[in-house]
Amino acid sequence: MHIAILTFEGYNELDSLIALGVLNRIQNDDWKVTIATPTAQVTSMNGVTIRQMSSLEEAVQADAVIVGSGMATREVVETPGIMEVLRGLDPQRQLIAAQCSGALVLAELGLLRDVPACTDLTTKPWVIAAGVDVLNQPFFARGNVATAGGCLASHYLAGWVIARLCGKDEAVAALHYVAPVGEKQDYIDRALRNIGPYLPAEVPALV
């Protein structure tokens, strides 16, 4: 299983790197999580530079894709070279999720037609302008497409991806590991309240 986190110049560290950390709690030889970038390296909104782990072309073939957020998302959707590659994303064969302004990317790709979305408050008017209803909640999913709003909702996306690909027990274990000591059950309960309604009644383990 390959899970790619799309990460662009000006990215938000909380969006890409929290998801990376939670997803990597899965210890399986067939489980790979990468930061996918359009260039050899990208620098965050706060000056953190990271190297490319996979290309966008590799990412669109992944089993699951999380579109990260950042300061330059509007520039991303106006970059034909990037968007042309991302048109290869297909919810019929992969899980597709977006964090905060990543919802704008999905909207511009036509992946949120008749699907409401969650996003951050800054991005909200742009997503609405793209013709998408924005919900006042941290997480929503329909079928194989999910969105989350607010930087600290990134672990909901990671938990949803793990639950869909490995099963709910694996998602709970991953969230338990990263949750604060003394508040672990509270964090797990809150996460399940948010992602649970969007999981199939029976979540098969695929890895």
Say if residue 4's pLDDT is above 90. Answer: yes
Distance CA 17, CA 201 (A): 29
Summary mean pLDDT of the chain: 95
Q: What share of the chain has pLDDT > 90, as a percent?
A: 94
Q: What share of the chain has pLDDT > 70, as a percent?
A: 97
Strands 2-6 and 64-67: parallel
Band (pLDDT 50/70/90 cuts) for residue 200 is: confident
E strand residue ranges, the chain: 2-6, 32-37, 41-43, 49-51, 54-55, 64-67, 95-99, 139-142, 145-148
In contact, 93 and 62? CB cutoff 8 Å: no
Say if residue 80's pLDDT is above 70. Answer: yes
Instruction: Sketch out the chain's domains with CATH numbers.
Output: 2-198 (3.40.50.880)
Instruction: Kindly list the strands in the beta sheet with 2-6, ordered across the sheet, starting from the edge strand earlier in the chain.
Output: 54-55, 32-37, 2-6, 64-67, 95-99, 145-148, 139-142
Write out pLDDT tens, residues 144-195: 999 999 999 999 999 999 999 999 999 999 999 999 999 999 999 999 999 9
Say if residue 60's pLDDT is above 90. Answer: yes
Band (pLDDT 50/70/90 cuts) for residue 205 is: very low
Band (pLDDT 50/70/90 cuts) for residue 100 is: very high
Say if residue 122's pLDDT is above 50. Answer: yes
